[in-house]
Amino acid sequence: MPNAIHVFSEIGRLKQVMLHRPGRELENLVPDHLNRLLFDDIPFLEQARAEHDRFAEVLRQNDVEVLYLEDLAAESLTSPEIKQQFLKDYLAETTIQSPEIIKEVTDYFLSCDNDRELIDKTMAGLAKNELELPNTQSLAGTVDDQYPFLIDPMPNLYFTRDPFATIGNGVSLNRMYSETRRRETLYGKYIFAHHPMFQQNPPHMLYDRAQPTRIEGGDELVLSKHVLAIGISQRTDAASIEQLARKVFENEPSFEYVLAFDIGQERKFMHLDTVFTMVDHDKFTIHPEIEGELTVYSISRAGDGVTIKEEKDTLENILCRYLELNAVELIRCGGSDLIAAAREQWNDGSNTLTIAPGEVVVYDRNTITNQKLAEAGIKLHKISGSELVRGRGGPRCMSMPFVREDI
């Protein structure tokens, strides 16, 4: 039986992908708490859903099977015992400490008509006014009484790329940078452990969400069946990369190198895929600020361990050397206009989703970057993203490949 996870490149024809259709969690964003939930603004849910539905439609029109996180999570609650354990784990990662309130909330979720409704409600969060809470007195509860939520919503869930990453036949189940997003990986934990599609041939688990150091999927790019690129960024630290590299070499024999790109700690460069994506065998989108000399740490096998080598070189030379190419073409986000580059990078101009070699999904608003991609011979599928982009993520961020054809 073929592996349920099969991703050995960024550009092989996409056959199966997981998305999350934005839900009520976006309507639970409120202005006073946007920073806590990693948003700059509040998307209009109806329009965000319309944009997301069009994204899914474009993928289906190109023969991609679209799966949804919320469906897979619901289908993973295959017994009453698993459902109870899921809720126990879910509530353990909230701020609720009162046993009485935990019981009330558990009963509330178990009263849902079906498992999909339960999953949707866990994602949306729980406002205090949705329950009649027991009158428990505590200093902490009194001080925090003005906060509207008993359980925070998860508005970043439609960026399915980050909670885990698919690498070869394996999965990196990540520990997220912010406490706000760490709960998102719980759905992946239950999907890969209990969903029927992963039971006969389960994927190798290459990283565990319980680890103390952070890593996110937007920093993990499978450049080829031999080379994995990972960003040392605001969201991913060096210790996680080394740990992941060791597990990749142990479980995925085709991989020979893990390249750790040091891209700095700025939020605008929060992930490697916000400044660099692969769109064809020898073509890449980049943000102009990562041109010039880069610091890259090359991690390779050494017996049962690894060897780490620091390299300082241009991105072109690094890509040519490790991908065994004579030359590469770097397509600048925003072209040569620094103002356009800053604007379009902020709106995820570099965050393309490649669905086949030389064929990508992009936001239509990044007109200059899109023109440069077209001039380089790249076929574009443009989608609107006026609301989706408010969460600071593009087509790659919103998609988790499960199966790609080999190249």
Quick one: residue 104, left, alpha or beta (phi over 0 = left, psi -120 to 50 = alpha)? Answer: alpha
Is residue 192 within 8 A of residue 202, CB to CB? The reply is: yes
The tens place of each residue's pLDDT in the chain, 407 residues long, gives 688 999 999 999 999 999 999 999 999 888 877 777 777 778 889 999 999 999 999 999 999 999 999 999 999 999 999 999 999 999 999 989 889 999 999 999 999 999 999 999 999 999 988 887 766 545 444 445 678 889 999 999 999 999 999 999 999 999 998 888 899 999 999 999 999 999 988 999 999 999 999 999 999 999 999 999 999 988 899 999 999 999 999 999 999 999 999 987 665 567 898 888 999 999 999 988 777 888 999 999 988 889 999 999 999 999 999 999 999 999 998 888 888 888 887 777 788 999 999 999 999 999 999 999 999 999 999 999 889 888 888 999 999 999 999 99
For residue 290, the one-letter residue type is: I
Q: What is the DSSP letter of 129?
A: G
Q: Please, are residues 200 and 167 in contact by the beta-carbon 8 Å criterion?
A: no
The whole-number pLDDT of residue 139 equals 43
32 burial level (CB within 10 Å; 0-12, 13-18, 19+): exposed
Domain 72-151 = CATH 1.10.3930.10: yes
Residues serving a catalytic function are: 397
Kindly report, as residue ranges, where domains of CATH 1.10.3930.10 are found in the chain.
72-151
Assign 227 to helix, strand or coil. strand
Beta strands in 209-282 (DSSP E): 220-222, 227-232, 257-262, 276-280
Res 140: pLDDT? 47
Integer Cα distance of 353 and 250 in angstroms: 29
Bridge partners, 207 (sequence order): 172
Residue 268's pLDDT is what? 54
Q: How far is CA 147 from the centre of its chain?
A: 28
**Rounded to the nearest 10 degrees, what angle do helices 80-92 and 99-110 cross at?**
140
Q: Are 278 and 10 in contact (CB under 8 A)?
A: yes
Q: By CB neighbour count within 10 A (0-12 exposed, 13-18 middle, 19+ buried), where does 126 fall?
A: buried
C-alpha 309/C-alpha 301 separation (Å) is 11
Determine the pLDDT at residue 266: 61
Concatenate the DSSP letters of all residues of 67-90 into one string: EEHHHHHHHT--SHHHHHHHHHHH
Please name the helix (run of DSSP H) or strand (run of DSSP E) that holds residue 362, with its range, or none. strand 359-363
Among residues 250, 289, 279, 248, the alpha carbon closest in space to that of 352 is found at: 279
- Look at residue 142 in the predicted model and tell me its pLDDT: 42
- What does the pLDDT look like over 143-164, one tens digit per residue? 456 788 899 999 999 999 999 9
The per-residue pLDDT for 35 is: 74
DSSP 247: H
Pick the CATH number of 14-21+33-68+155-404 from 3.30.70.20, 3.90.1200.10, 3.75.10.10, 3.40.50.720: 3.75.10.10
Q: Rounded to an integer, what distance in angstroms lies between the CA atom of residue 319 and that of residue 327?
A: 9
**Please, where in the chain does CATH 3.75.10.10 lie?**
14-21+33-68+155-404
Could you please report the per-residue DSSP string of 183-207? TTHHHHHHHHHH-GGGTSSPPEEEE
